[in-house]
Amino acid sequence: MARDAKKLKPVKEFKPLITKSDELPLDPERLRFMHETMLKARCLEERLIAMYKSGHGYFWIGGPGEEAFNVPLGMLIKKGQGPSFDFCHFHYRQSATLLAMGEEPLGAIRQMKNTATDPYSGGRNFAGHFSKKEWNIVPVTSPIEVQYSMVCGTALVQKRLGGDSISIVTGGDAGTAEGDFATCLVWASRPGQELPVLIIVTNNTWGISTPFDQVQGVERISDRGAAFGMRCKTIDGNDPISAYLELKEAFEYVRTERKPYLVEARVSRLYGHSSASGANFNTVEADCLALFEERLDAHGVRSKDEAKKLREKYTEDYAELARRAKEEPFPDGSTIWNHVFAGEPGKDPLAD
């Protein structure tokens, strides 16, 4: 059942989504990159949903509606392998972040189709469950919130190492009810041993079908950080410019101060929780992509017509990628024994 987004409590410091100013605070090239990446992410998620609906995948879950936040996030990450680079402990709505980091969309399509070529899990895991060791993207998991416990470990190694690398963790509002969220707040803020963690909660106000304000009394999730003496802020995750600037400040703080920062980003959820709830477009909640296109058009950065053509291009490109993935083989059943233990051949331990 759709809920009127207008019923959400207003957050005072949000700037208006469409500014009257003639100036946008970011250069046009960056704005066009942000828009195009948001658009690519939307087209990719819509392709994954189409694959699910046409029987080319068992389950879909992803992040349409969060692009305005997730793209700036990806733009600010220092990607690479090992503790000198940022560690990414993501949840399953992060495709736009990966695209902003430079990932090819074919991998997500292959994972949807659970082919052997799926670069993240080899056909073993759901869509949106990314894993890419070369960029420190640790495996996305279905259990909610476990990443908030693990992030403390990578951040600990980074703190000890020095430098400016940080650990980033993302999850939704509903998951903050789990103990692992409290774990993260406690472990990241131990006196004198604070950890360089950017703690992010994307608040779409839903936990599958349960409204946040029915099950949690806290008005702003970011307020929970204040009790631990950490910087915290609730931001407008539907405005990519605001999100970029707010995140930039948070990144810089964590990189230089080596202390945690809690960001709550208010976002929309445009295709429901997952395919289990139908994955149909929600016409009530704000669409960050449409709003941004309107704004870019008004400021002469990118016309609506140009945006429309880009959408058509990526829609067709990803349809072609999906056709390609559909021809690729599934993993062989005999491979189930592979990678149970590192450094050991995969074999049935009970076979004669």
What distance in Å separates the CA atoms of residue 296 and residue 29, rounded to the nearest whole number?
12
Question: Smallest gap, in angstroms, from Cβ of residue 125 to another protein?
Answer: 5
Interacting span for another protein (CB under 8 A) from 12-20, 99-107, 308-316, 342-350: 342-350
132 contributes a contact to another protein by CB under 8 A? yes
Between vectors from CA 288 to CA 299 and to CA 311, what angle results, nearest 5°?
75
- Least separation in angstroms between residue 336's CB and another protein is 9
What is the rounded CA–CA span in Å between residue 130 and residue 285?
Answer: 26
Among 95, 158, 176, 275, binds another protein (CB under 8 A): 158
Angle, helix 28-53 to helix 288-298, in steps of 10 degrees: 150
Report which residue type is found at 101: M
Supply the minimum distance, in Å, between the C-beta of residue 121 and another protein. 5
Cα atoms in the 13 Å half-sphere on the side-chain side of 43: 25
Cβ at position 183, least distance to another protein in Å: 4
Does 120 sit near another protein (CB under 8 A)?
yes
Nearest distance from C-beta of residue 228 to another protein, angstroms: 12
Provide the total of helices (H) and of strands (E) in the chain, helices listed first.
11, 7
Task: Using CB under 8 A, pick the residue from 37, 94, 95, 167 that binds another protein.
Answer: 167
- Supply the minimum distance, in Å, between the C-beta of residue 203 and another protein: 22
CA separation (Å) from 64 to 89, 93, 148, 249? Answer: 19, 8, 22, 25
- Per CB under 8 A, which region of 182-190, 202-210, 237-245, 290-298 contacts another protein? 182-190
Q: In the complex with another protein, which residue's Cβ is closer, 89 or 269?
A: 89
CB contact at 8 A, 282 and 205 = no
| Residue 189-208 contact track with another protein, rule CB under 8 A, x = bound | -x------------------
Residues from 65 through 84 that contact another protein (CB under 8 A):
82-83
Site for another protein in 135-154 (CB under 8 A): 138-139, 141, 143, 146, 148-154
Name the 3-class secondary structure at 328: coil
**Contacts for 204-207: CB closer than 8 Å, 24+ residues apart:** 204/65, 204/66, 204/172, 204/173, 204/267, 204/268, 204/269, 205/3, 205/5, 205/8, 205/173, 205/266, 205/269, 206/3, 206/173, 206/174, 206/269, 206/273, 207/172, 207/173, 207/174, 207/175
- C-beta of 9 vs 347, nearer to another protein: 347
Q: Please, which residue, 10 or 349, has the CB nearer to another protein?
A: 349
The residues that touch another protein, with contacts defined as CB under 8 A, are 82-83, 87, 89, 118, 120-122, 124-125, 129, 131-133, 138-139, 141, 143, 146, 148-158, 167, 179-180, 183, 186-187, 190, 338-343, 349-350, 352
